[in-house]
């Protein structure tokens, strides 16, 4: 009865959703795929014939180096986020419910400030005569200012700073779901703390780890403004390469091909995440 009266509304919603996905997700992605197999043209950006030159160019040792270095920095960022985020999220579920909400709120507060602005703020901290160096020198810990800005470390610090909440939030969700009685059962059956951690806690929080990795690793490869501000010319991310190809080198096919590789990597991680969730029976059969 109500389904008949709601039919037009239902149709409208479906059209809206599918239209949105079609025009704003599928079409742009198809355009990128299309661009990646076309030929570079100085005048109109793209031209025929179709070819795989852009992908071949990706195999160029120069770009492969950039890609690998970028992957290395992103991986370091992810690892550091995980090492900080895992115990942080665990501890978060141990404090009282009210305190928990406050801490999560504090975690989210920085999002209210534009990340570009926050990255510039970090530059002020790390600069040669910045806050950190001045503080260390006035405390007599160092004689000369340390060179912190425009290093690989600075880029990683910037990425960790921006991306840490994305690691903590999914981890918090899995730790919050971790049932106390499963840990009790493990102890009851003769497992000590370490064995319980390895055999119960790690497997059950793995979906959160993978979700966190997904939310940190790939964005970390794409956040081009962080190396722009903090990293100098040698510490490039794939994001910088893509940006440069589109805006500076005007090599659209190559930029498109690079971003497709990034997307495929993301898809692979999502697939792994799904598998891990299915393993513990969260997605049903």
Partner 1 sequence: MKQTLLSLSNLSKQFDGKTVLDSLDLEILDGEFITLLGPSGCGKTTLLRLMAGFEHPDDGTILLGGQDLTHTPPEKRPLNTVFQNYALFPHMSVFDNVAYGLKMEKRPKEEIRQRVDEALAMVQLEEFARRKPHQLSGGQQQRVAIARAVVKRPKMLLLDEPLSALDYKLRRTMQVELKRLQRELGITFVFVTHDQEEALSMSDRVVVLKDGLIQQLGTPREVYERPANLFTARFVGETNFFPGRIDKANGDDTITVDVFGLKRTFRKPDFPVAAGQPLHVLLRPEDIRVLAPDDDDGVAGKVVERNYKGSTLDSVIHLEDSTEVLASEFFDEDDPTFDYRLGEPVKVSWVDGWEWLLPMESPEAEAEANLDE
Give the binding site for partner 1 (CB under 8 A).
Answer: 179, 181-182, 184-192, 195, 199-200, 203-204, 279-282, 284-285
**Nearest approach, Cβ of residue 202 and partner 1 (Å):** 10
DSSP run (H or E) holding 46:
strand 45-47
Q: Closer CB to partner 1, residue 13 or residue 280?
A: 280
**Nearest approach, Cβ of residue 183 and partner 1 (Å):** 9
Quick check: helix, strand or coil at residue 247?
Answer: helix
**Nearest approach, Cβ of residue 121 and partner 1 (Å):** 42
Q: Closer CB to partner 1, residue 181 or residue 248?
A: 181
**Nearest approach, Cβ of residue 89 and partner 1 (Å):** 19
What sign results for the dihedral spanned by CA atoms 46, 50, 51, 52? positive
- Residue 216 has which token pair? 């940190």
- Residue 248 has which token pair? 């500076």
Determine the Cα–Cα distance for residues 206 and 218; give it in Å rounded to an integer.
Answer: 18
The alpha helices in the chain, defined as continuous H runs, are 2-5, 7-21, 27-36, 53-58, 61-92, 97-108, 115-126, 131-138, 152-177, 180-188, 193-196, 202-222, 225-226, 238-247, 252-279
**Nearest approach, Cβ of residue 192 and partner 1 (Å):** 6
**Nearest approach, Cβ of residue 173 and partner 1 (Å):** 16
**DSSP conformation letters of 86-142:** HHHHHHHTTS-HHHHHHHHHHHHGGGGS-HHHHHHHHHHHHSTTSHHHHHHHHTTS-
Q: Closer CB to partner 1, residue 200 or residue 265?
A: 200
Q: Closer CB to partner 1, residue 56 or residue 184?
A: 184
CB atoms within 10 A of CB 225: 18
Q: Closer CB to partner 1, residue 140 or residue 190?
A: 190
Q: Closer CB to partner 1, residue 170 or residue 253?
A: 170
């Amino acid at each position: 009865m109500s389904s008949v009266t709601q039919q037009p509304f239902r149709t409208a919603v479906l059209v809206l959703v599918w239209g949105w996905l079609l025009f704003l997700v599928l079409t742009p992605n198809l355009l990128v795929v299309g661009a990646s197999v076309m030929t570079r043209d100085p005048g109109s950006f793209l031209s025929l014939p179709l070819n795989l030159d852009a992908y071949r160019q990706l195999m160029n040792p120069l770009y492969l180096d950039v890609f690998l270095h970028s992957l290395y920095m992103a991986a370091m960022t992810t690892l550091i986020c995980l090492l900080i985020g895992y115990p942080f999220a665990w501890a978060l579920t141990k404090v009282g419910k009210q305190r928990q909400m406050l801490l999560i709120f504090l975690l989210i507060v920085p999002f209210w400030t534009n990340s570009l602005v926050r990255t510039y703020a970090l530059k002020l901290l790390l600069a040669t005569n910045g806050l950190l160096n001045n503080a260390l020198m006035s405390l007599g810990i160092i004689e000369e200012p340390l060179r912190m800005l425009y290093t690989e470390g600075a880029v990683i610090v910037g990425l960790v700073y921006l991306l840490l909440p994305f690691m903590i939030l999914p981890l918090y969700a899995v730790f919050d779901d971790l049932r106390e009685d499963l840990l009790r059962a493990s102890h009851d059956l003769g497992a000590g703390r370490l064995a319980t951690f390895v055999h119960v806690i790690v497997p059950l929080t793995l979906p959160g780890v993978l979700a966190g990795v997904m939310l940190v690793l790939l964005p970390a490869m794409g956040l081009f403004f962080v190396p722009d501000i903090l990293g100098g010319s040698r510490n490039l991310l794939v994001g910088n390469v893509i940006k440069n190809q589109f805006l500076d080198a005007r090599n659209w096919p190559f930029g498109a091909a690079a971003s497709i590789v990034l997307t495929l990597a993301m898809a692979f991680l999502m697939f792994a995440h799904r598998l891990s969730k299915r393993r513990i029976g969260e997605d049903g059969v």
